[in-house]
Amino acid sequence: MKIDFLVPGINKCGTTTLCYLLGQHPQIFIPEMKEPHHFNRPDVVEHRAAYEGLFAPASSGQLLGEGSQMYSTLEFAELVCERLKQENPQMKFIFSVRNPLKRIESSYREFHHSGPHYAVNAPFGLGRAIAELPALLDDSHYWARIQPFREHFSDEQIMVVFLEDLQRDPAIELARCYEFLGVDTAFQNPSAGAQLNSRDEKFYDTRLLRLLRTNRFTGFKLAKISVPRQNELFSRLGLRQKFAKSLQWEDTSKADTVNALRQDVQQFLAFYGKPADYWPEFV
């Protein structure tokens, strides 16, 4: 078995949605398991049988692919690319990206939503979060993130999908993906326009709940409750709420973030054929 393509992913850029849509094509198989993270594992050899088992339901002739956003992180990209070169030198890659400021906002919500899973108390406020959680900024350097793949594979093996384009005209963007992968471009995807893992599904702790989590008398008791049950119980009590409003940037924090990312963004947009004002904040 060999993998034909990957969606290496950049956190909170629509990888989940893109994989779901690609998997609807009858000539493509993507496992139901989200983000297998096989190629960045330390036990990659021992794990191979379990990994291949994910693709067991595939039909003969289907292209095999999966999406794992850890593959393109600064920590793992070089190792992953070396392993992928051995796996299949002709492998293709589809990266999904979006406006970096929107990606940071989405990642901020995810940190708050998933924090109880990992006993992480995400800071309140975008400026403070960026200062304390380096990944918020690091994961937005798209040009830097894609370089290891460009060094190990040809540019003809790499495609970039802009989430804004996918949301605006999913049929056209999916047809581009199908053409890139070499499958039937006439397929009309019944799920085109779907958006998974949206911000409407994300919860955050109120300050009172945060206080209870960090209290030595109540914290360990809360940790014993499953996160889905916490979302259900504490949302009814008003202690865990959904992000109903747009996030607000502090002017200085936003300016600093734009300045830190501008060069990377402009190189990325120019190389992949987008105008300099595609994400207007970075002109």
User: In the sheet where 28-29 sits, what is the strand order?
Assistant: 28-29, 63-67, 5-7, 92-97, 158-162
With a CB cutoff of 8 Å and minimum separation 6, the contacts of 67 are: 6, 7, 8, 9, 15, 16, 18, 19, 30, 34, 35
Q: Give the pLDDT score at 122.
A: 86
100 and 222 in a single domain? The answer is no
| 123 assigned to some structural domain | yes
Q: Give the pLDDT score at 192.
A: 86
| 136 assigned to some structural domain | yes
SS3 9: coil
| 254 assigned to some structural domain | no
- For 211-221, give one letter per residue: b (16+ CB within 10 A) or e: ebbeeeeeeee
Q: Give the pLDDT score at 78.
A: 96
Enumerate residue ranges in the chain where pLDDT < 50: none
144 and 268 in a single domain? The answer is yes
45 and 153 in a single domain? The answer is yes
| 248 assigned to some structural domain | no
CA distance 171 to 177: 10
Q: Give the pLDDT score at 187.
A: 95
Type of residue found at 230? Q
Provide the whole-model pTM.
0.91
R_g of the chain computed on alpha carbons? 20
CA distance 77 to 115: 25
82 and 68 in a single domain? The answer is yes
Tell me which residue range forms the domain holding 218: 203-242
26 and 165 in a single domain? The answer is yes
Q: Give the pLDDT score at 52.
A: 97
What is the sign, positive or negative, of the torsion defined by CA atoms of 196, 42, 119, 10? Answer: negative
| 250 assigned to some structural domain | no
| 252 assigned to some structural domain | no
CA angle (64 as vertex; 181, 170 as ends), nearest 5: 45
Q: Give the pLDDT score at 57.
A: 96
The CATH code of the domain that includes 61 is 3.40.50.300
Q: Considering its fold, how many domains does the chain have in total?
A: 2
